[in-house]
Amino acid sequence: MENSSLFLSSSPNSLSLSPTKTTPAADCIRIGAPRTTTVLASSRVEFPSIRLHHSRSPLSPLCCTASEGILICAASESVKEEQEMALKDGQDDRIARISSAIRVIPNFPKPGILFQDITTLLLDTKAFKDTIDLFVERYKDKRISVVAGVEARGFIFGPPIALAIGAKFVPMRKPHKLPGEVISEEYSLEYGTDKIEMHVGAVEAGERALIIDDLIATGGTLCAAIRLLERVGVDVVECACVIELPELKGRARLGGKPLFVLVDAAA
């Protein structure tokens, strides 16, 4: 005898079922997304975590209940928000436009280096606007009050993002560039050390900050920026970069701090 079953189709934030017939199978199977499949009705259907390109954290699993041929899925608002953000990150054609607008220059500033040149991105008004828009869409509802830009190219992307989400912009500069009293944080280079500084009083304890730069390579500068802000009681929500050089493993140096990147580039 054939078992009564349900036909499951999925969309970014909804699931629907319709009656169908199928051969006997296990009561509950794990479903990958996004695809369409059939499952037998059961009391619980568990969906695995979904990891999409450009999204650091996998989405939380959804547990659904089946009753009288209807599948009811209850997802929290935070899960729905993560889904929307991850789907935008992984499927947005703006990413390809941004990537193609970045010029790669070999052997600069020294032999063996592939330099990721964002000046060509800035010349492309559509790609530049797409870049800012993607960051704004991600952070506009995150209650961020500080956008901290890392010298120097973080100064290009940080201010328009800060204005759009209603946050202040705080420049994080190299030594001896800021005129007022500063607080500084040292970090290691391949040979020697360097410092990053910001003005005393630029941020307040309890504020929520986004750190922005154009590129993450070894992660030393971003790591120093995180430590500097956290020393004065600021909650660093996330770091964001246009480009990541994944082979240099800078992400691993951030101590588990979330990192959002638009474009992966070969080191």
Residue 85: per-residue pLDDT? 54
All structural domains of the chain, each given as residue ranges with its CATH number in brackets, are 143-264 (3.40.50.2020)
With cut-offs at 50, 70 and 90, classify the pLDDT of residue 190. confident
78 contacts: CB under 8 Å, gap ≥ 6: 60
| pLDDT at residue number 40 | 38
Percent of the chain with pLDDT over 70: 65
Tell me how far apart the 2 most distant CA atoms of the chain are, in Å.
Answer: 82
Residue-wise pLDDT tens digits, 31-53: 333 333 333 333 333 333 322 33
The three-class DSSP label of residue 81 is: helix
Catalytic residue among 82, 138, 153, 251: 153
The CA distance from 175 to 55, in Å, is 33
Q: Is 244 a catalytic residue?
A: no
Sign (positive or negative) of CA dihedral 250, 264, 88, 150: positive
- Spot the catalytic one: 68, 77, 181, 190: 190
Residue 62's pLDDT is 44
pLDDT score of 100 = 97
The answer to whether residue 251 is catalytic is no
The pLDDT value given to residue 189: 84
Tokens of 123: 């010349």
Q: Does pLDDT of 80 surpass 60?
A: no
In the 8-state DSSP scheme, what is residue 109?
A: S
Q: Which residue has the higher pLDDT, 75 or 149?
A: 149
pLDDT bucket at 116, cuts 50 / 70 / 90: very high
Q: Is the pLDDT of residue 9 over 80?
A: no
